[in-house]
């Protein structure tokens, strides 16, 4: 570990802290309707889709709108990918996407996962990249923000289960947040050297006399929304490690900053809207502690390197550079891996499959925590609120009184919604992993044996169910089995968890706000942060420690004894 490496991590942390309040205040104005400078555009959108933006929807209607919108747009994308060879903007005459790949991709991008078991430059036309994948980058991000805002409304007001208007929230998040910030970020990426064109691929002669194809395309615009919307799907197979997507250290810093930009602001938005800014900062502090602990562990493990390499003459100071670019190095690679898996982004600049066992453990655990360390746009906030409700419930049980959260009583139906949310993730990850490690189709995709091969499968389902999209990359996912399983996993991880969360929002919206008393558990103190951290870590450990013991943990001890997989 070096001073330069720690300076990069600390600089990033300070900038994230600095942008939290300004972005949060901007989001407050967006969702309370203060910003209406695009009101004419809004009215046209509402008229075209035939909705009343002033309707205050019951949580069941809000959830139905989420599911209907997602189902329709997923179907459109599936059809467009299948027939992309008949559509324009396809200078390389790329064929239509196969049925299984089109299903997985449509499901993945609809759910903000952007899991890619294909090479973008050889599988997707410009038309598919721009009108389908980039569309979902905007739509899935706006949907996540809308759902988080709905949950905040449920906590902040009493409205007979009514939590706002889905169509209005979607439209405002897209028009006032995602589009303008994406335009600015795309221009910054172009200024740094990211490409943005519609040229056919370049075919050039190499110095050795061979021929090489250099992909072109509208890259910077998609790079901006993939990071800002915590989508993560790369235009190229190499994702953000590709110099056409991420050419400089400054573009890389902007990449990472964009991932936490909206999630960090949403935490302040929550505290402000709930009329408890101190509580918002306590939640932010909890997220930051988990983030910093993760990046410190990953950096330590990668800087320490592989003892087997050191025995063969590689200096310990060199660390583990396998799977990493020299232009980014160990510290930045560890930081990027932590940030992208804290959020549901999944963009990468290094191969997580090549990390040391403990270095690879960090991004895996980040996802298994529940996508709550700042998390995806919207998803991080509502995942953390789920854990907060559980922590407050446990605190109430310890002191023998009915639990309260920001003046709202927490009763059995709220806890049932919380437990469904928590159990869905662990059930799907562990069951799908178990099926894959004992069936021939599941094992057929492995490129590694032993605990590392198990880690590849566990990581893949942790990623798809968490709607993250990053991979260990040692698993061959282009089979009927994995295309189908990953597509289903992304939908379970998005919608089977989103519906009970919206139910929680509706239940809380029906509760009266009671004034705080001497027995009310404070949610603004260091004690609350400690309790919340304890609940998160204990729940995660009880759920996933046995599986992790079979993968990266045992691999770490075997590596120390000279075994590699």
Which residue's entry shows tokens 């139905």? 64
Residue 313 is predicted with a pLDDT of 57
If pLDDT is split at 50, 70 and 90, which confidence band does 396 have? confident
363-380 mean pLDDT: 89
Distance CA 151, CA 422 (A): 16
Q: Is the pLDDT of residue 314 over 70?
A: no
Say if residues 451 and 358 touch (Cβ distance below 8 Å): no
Say if residues 184 and 174 touch (Cβ distance below 8 Å): no
Neighbour-count burial of 297, counting CB atoms closer than 10 A to its CB (0-12 exposed, 13-18 middle, 19+ buried): middle
442-468 mean pLDDT: 90
Distances, alpha carbon 380 to alpha carbons 51, 272, 391, in Å: 28, 17, 16
21-46 mean pLDDT: 92
∠ at Cα 263 (259, 264), nearest 5°? Answer: 100
Torsions phi, psi for 211 (to 5 deg) = -120, 140
Distances, alpha carbon 275 to alpha carbons 150, 157, 271, 279, 512, in Å: 16, 11, 6, 9, 15
Distance CA 342, CA 297 (A): 14
pLDDT per position as a tens digit, 139-180: 999 999 999 999 999 998 887 789 999 999 999 999 999 999
125-133 mean pLDDT: 90
The lowest-confidence range among 192-201, 421-430, 441-450 is: 441-450
How many Cα atoms occupy the beta-carbon half-sphere of 184 within 13 Å?
8
Structure tokens at 509: 């919206």
Torsions phi, psi for 34 (to 5 deg) = -70, -35
Contacts 24+ apart (CB under 8 A), 553-560: 553/357, 553/361, 554/451, 555/357, 555/450, 555/451, 555/452, 555/455, 556/356, 556/357, 556/358, 556/361, 558/450, 558/451, 559/306, 559/307, 559/308, 559/356, 559/357, 560/307
13-34 mean pLDDT: 94
The lowest-confidence range among 64-68, 115-119, 550-554 is: 115-119
Q: Which residues of 146-171 are buried (b: 16+ CB within 10 A; e: fewer)?
A: bbbbbbbbbbbbebebbbbbbbbbbb
Give bridge partners of residue 408 from the DSSP assignment. Answer: 405
If pLDDT is split at 50, 70 and 90, which confidence band does 311 have? low
- Residue 381: how many other CB atoms lie within 10 Å: 31
Structure tokens at 513: 């706000």
Distance CA 429, CA 425 (A): 6
Please state whether beta strands 408-409 and 404-405 pair in parallel, antiparallel, or not at all (unpaired): antiparallel
Which residue's entry shows tokens 């078991």? 117
Residue 121 is predicted with a pLDDT of 83
Q: Is the pLDDT of residue 225 over 90?
A: yes
Structure tokens at 346: 């999944």
Q: Is the pLDDT of residue 184 over 90?
A: yes
Residue 317 is predicted with a pLDDT of 55
Q: Is the pLDDT of residue 516 over 80?
A: no
3-state SS class at 404: strand
29-47 mean pLDDT: 90
Distance CA 175, CA 181 (A): 10
Residue 289 is predicted with a pLDDT of 96
Which residue's entry shows tokens 């320490």? 304
If pLDDT is split at 50, 70 and 90, which confidence band does 419 have? very high
The lowest-confidence range among 172-176, 219-223, 306-310 is: 306-310
Q: Is the pLDDT of residue 316 over 70?
A: no
Residue 513 is predicted with a pLDDT of 81
Residue-averaged pLDDT of the chain: 90
pLDDT per position as a tens digit, 130-139: 889 999 999 9
Residue 322 is predicted with a pLDDT of 86
Q: Is the pLDDT of residue 362 over 70?
A: yes
Q: Which residues of 197-217 are buried (b: 16+ CB within 10 A; e: fewer)?
A: eeeeeeeeeeeeeeeeeebbb
Distance CA 131, CA 120 (A): 14
Residue % of the chain over a pLDDT of 90: 64
Residue 333 is predicted with a pLDDT of 93
Distances, alpha carbon 107 to alpha carbons 132, 202, 376, 486, in Å: 12, 32, 17, 9
The lowest-confidence range among 299-303, 332-336, 381-385, 558-562 is: 558-562
3-state SS class at 204: strand
Give bridge partners of residue 204 from the DSSP assignment. Answer: 212
Using alpha carbons only, how large is the chain's radius of gyration in Å? 23
The lowest-confidence range among 316-325, 351-360, 375-384 is: 316-325
3-state SS class at 200: coil
Residue 310 is predicted with a pLDDT of 66
Residue 312 is predicted with a pLDDT of 59
Residue 161 is predicted with a pLDDT of 81
Residue 185 is predicted with a pLDDT of 95
Distances, alpha carbon 496 to alpha carbons 107, 165, 171, 500, in Å: 14, 21, 24, 7
Residue 150 is predicted with a pLDDT of 94
């Amino acid at each position: 570990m070096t001073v330069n490496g720690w300076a990069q991590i600390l600089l990033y942390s300070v900038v994230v802290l600095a942008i939290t309040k300004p972005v949060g205040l901007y989001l407050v104005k967006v969702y309370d309707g203060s910003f209406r400078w695009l009101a004419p555009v809004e009215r046209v959108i509402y008229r075209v889709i035939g909705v009343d933006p002033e309707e205050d929807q019951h949580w069941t209607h809000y959830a139905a709108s989420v599911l209907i919108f997602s189902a329709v747009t997923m179907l459109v994308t599936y059809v467009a990918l299948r027939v992309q060879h008949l559509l324009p903007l396809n200078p390389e005459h790329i064929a239509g996407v196969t049925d299984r790949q089109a299903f997985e991709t449509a499901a993945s991008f609809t759910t903000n996962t952007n899991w890619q078991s294909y090479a973008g430059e050889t599988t997707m036309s410009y038309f598919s990249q721009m009108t389908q994948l980039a569309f979902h980058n905007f739509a899935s991000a706006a949907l996540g923000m809308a759902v988080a805002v709905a949950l905040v409304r449920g906590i902040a007001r009493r409205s007979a289960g009514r939590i706002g208007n889905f169509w209005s929230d979607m439209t405002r998040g897209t028009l006032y947040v995602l589009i303008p910030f994406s335009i600015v970020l795309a221009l910054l990426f172009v200024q740094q050297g990211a490409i943005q064109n519609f040229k056919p691929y370049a075919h050039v002669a190499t110095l050795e006399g061979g021929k090489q194809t250099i992909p072109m395309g509208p890259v910077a615009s998609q790079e901006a929304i993939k990071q800002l919307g915590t989508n993560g799907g790369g235009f190229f197979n190499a994702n953000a490690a590709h110099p056409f997507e991420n050419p400089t250290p400054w573009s890389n810093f902007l990449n990472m900053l964009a991932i936490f930009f909206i999630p960090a602001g949403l935490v302040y938005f929550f505290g402000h809207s709930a009329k408890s800014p101190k509580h918002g900062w306590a939640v932010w502090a909890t997220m930051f502690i988990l983030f910093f602990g993760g990046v410190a562990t990953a950096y330590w493990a990668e800087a320490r390197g592989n003892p087997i390499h050191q025995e063969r003459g590689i200096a310990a100071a060199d660390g583990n550079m396998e799977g990493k670019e020299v232009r980014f190095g160990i510290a930045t690679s560890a930081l990027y891996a932590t940030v992208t898996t804290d959020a549901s982004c999944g963009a990468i600049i290094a191969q997580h499959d090549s990390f040391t066992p403990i270095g690879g453990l960090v991004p895996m655990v980040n996802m298994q925590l529940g996508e709550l360390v700042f998390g995806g746009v919207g998803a991080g906030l509502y995942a953390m609120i789920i854990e907060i409700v559980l922590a407050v419930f446990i605190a109430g049980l310890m002191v023998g009184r009915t639990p309260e959260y920001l003046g709202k009583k927490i009763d059995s139906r709220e806890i049932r919604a919380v437990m469904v949310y928590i159990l869905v993730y662990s059930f799907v990850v562990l069951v799908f992993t178990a099926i894959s490690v004992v069936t021939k189709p599941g094992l057929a995709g492995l490129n590694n044996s032993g605990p590392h091969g198990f880690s590849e499968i566990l990581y893949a389902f942790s990623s798809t169910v968490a709607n993250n999209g990053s991979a260990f990359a040692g698993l061959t996912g282009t089979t009927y089995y994995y295309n189908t399983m990953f597509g289903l996993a992304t939908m379970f991880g998005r919608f089977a968890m989103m519906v009970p969360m919206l139910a929680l929002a509706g239940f809380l919206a029906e509760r009266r706000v009671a004034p705080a008393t001497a027995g009310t558990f404070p949610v603004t103190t260091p004690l609350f942060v400690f309790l919340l951290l304890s609940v998160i870590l204990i729940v995660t450990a009880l759920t996933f420690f046995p599986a992790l013991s079979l993968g990266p943990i045992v691999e770490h001890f075997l590596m120390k004894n000279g075994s590699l997989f």
